A and B are shown apart, each in its own frame.
Chain A
Amino acid sequence: MMQHEAEYRPEGYHESQLIESLEPDQLVAAVAKPLSRLRLSRPVRIALWAVRVFVLTISLLVIYTFIVQLTE
């Protein structure tokens, strides 16, 4: 646990102990600062695009079927 706490944290990250001591309104303000970007590896970027292309293709099939069934 302690080992993880000492690891790199992105900008905008707040430790749990600090968060747990805040009131709801203070919490909203505390997390207003954005976290820094995740460093995505090339395989992960390719996977994200592959899933997106796949979903768009399947969506086109569904939309085509939907429209044809409406007109029948």
Chain B
Amino acid sequence: MWLLLGPGVLAMLGENDGPSILSYAFSGATYGVGFFLPFIAVTFAAAYIVQEMSMRLGAVTHRGYGELIFQRFGPFWGWVSAADLFVTNLITLITEVIAIRIGMGFFGISAPIAVACAVGLVVLSACGSRYSRWERIAMGLALFNLVFVAVAILAHPSPLALGHALLTWTPFPQGSTSVFLLILASNIGATVTPWMLFFQQSASADKGLTPRDIPQGRLDTLIGTVLAAVAGCATLVAAAPLYTHHVDMSQDLSGSGFPQALLPLIGRPAAVLFALGLIEAGAVAMLTISASTAYAVSEVAGGVGHSFNHSLREAPLFHAANIGVAAMAGAIVLIPGTPLLAIALNANLLATVLMPPALVFLLILANDREIMGSNINSRVTNFLGILITALVTAAGSAYAIVAFMETFHSKGH
């Protein structure tokens, strides 16, 4: 069983990354313990449905997601999907480096050293040409995601308020519609994203999962879902004292504000843990998102190795993409004047907006009897998959349209 744990846990905990942690924390700081606590739990349930399909596709076809799109839908759709992924991954990776930089900044470590550590981690993890070695490093780091549970406990939340919020989804957020929609879309983008599909399917194939391993793959995904949902909800709870004490975080969303602002409210140990959690969240996502980019680029390029089991000589494009995209993100963060705050805010939103095509491909592939045989989606899975696709599309476009109208009108006046 332990040998089969990995891709599911890594995809889920890897998705509790820098921008996701900031989204959960901003939800808690803006609205306190209320609607968004059960909402986050539900988004993780949606992530399970999607990731289970992805794992099943990897186990049955032994091919990555990008590779399957390329082969079954043709080069055009293959490259379009890879381009979507590359854009969202690069922007998300920039945010991961920002999270690491800010977390380390809390301890007085300079930006260039923090960025070098972030990129160096990706290089080190790829050394050894073994998927299992890479996975052990990422898994070890990912489990540290649960540090946010400790921070939440140190914030002394009211069990009654937690229970009330989980059961009734109240208090419902009040105030600006566009802020509510931004947080809604960001929280969806924090749990259901294109890179997770590419990563879990490719990693399941790379790990050597077969149809016989699907039950264990489901358990792996479920364990990852529960751990990540607990950590995500804990982050919201940890930041809720900022709402109770009316601390306005809207002007300091880059993350430095959260550990600093929480310091007088929940104490130094908890603030230190929050900063460490930010570093961990960024570090795990650096590994998994760089890997998903490498899988996608080398899979659609075809004819080249695309596995951690391949050496640099056997899979030059795979390793170059893995390290190159991380280095590119690091370099962008170090450019003076880069709008880091704005990038951090929009990273999850972009993931939500670009998710519908990825979900449509996933649903078609998971219902492709020629390659899936008896392992195609059940009717219930299809119903839930279509519902998730519709909700993700609605959430992303609702914010985009409302924010555009507001911006357009404010420019007009």
Contacts and interface: CB of A to CB of B under 8 A. Distances in A.
A9 B397 contact: no
A57 to B, nearest CB: 9
Interface stretch (B219-227, B256-264, B327-335, B368-376): B368-376
Interface in A1-22: 1, 4-5, 7-10, 12-14, 16, 19-20
Nearest to A26: B208
A46 interface: no
B342 interface: yes
B210 A16 contact: yes
Contact of B346 (A38, A52, A62): A62
B400 A65 contact: yes
B211 A13 contact: no
Nearest to A12: B71
A30 to B, nearest CB: 8
Size bin of chain A's contact surface? 35 or more
A13 B370 CA distance: 9
B400 A16 contact: no
Contacts of B404: 61-62, 64-65
Contacts of B368: 38
Interface of B: 60-63, 68, 71-74, 77, 80, 205, 208, 210-212, 302, 305, 307, 309-310, 339, 342, 346, 349-350, 353-354, 356-357, 360, 364, 368-371, 373-374, 393, 396-397, 400-401, 403-404, 407, 411
8 contacts: A1-B374, A4-B369, A28-B309, A34-B71, A37-B73, A61-B403, A69-B342, A70-B339
Given A16-B211, A58-B400, A65-B400, A35 B364 contact: no
Interface majority SS (helix, strand, loop, mixed), chain A: helix
Nearest to B211: A16
B407 A4 contact: no
B371 A61 contact: no
A51 B359 CA distance: 11
Interface in A22-72: 24-25, 27-28, 30-31, 34-38, 40, 44, 47-48, 51-52, 54-55, 58-59, 61-62, 64-66, 68-70
Contacts of B364: 38, 44
Contacts of B60: 16
Contacts of A38: 72-73, 364, 368, 370
A68 B357 contact: no
A61 B400 contact: yes
A59 to B, nearest CB: 6
B335 to A, nearest CB: 15
A47 to B, nearest CB: 7
A7 B364 CA distance: 18
Contacts of A9: 370-371
Given A9-B370, A10-B370, A19-B210, A66 B346 contact: yes
Contact of A62 (B72, B309, B400): B400
Given A1-B374, A4-B374, A59-B354, 4 more contacts: A25-B309, A28-B309, A38-B72, A48-B77
Contacts of A12: 71
A69 B406 CA distance: 11
A60 to B, nearest CB: 9
B371 to A, nearest CB: 6
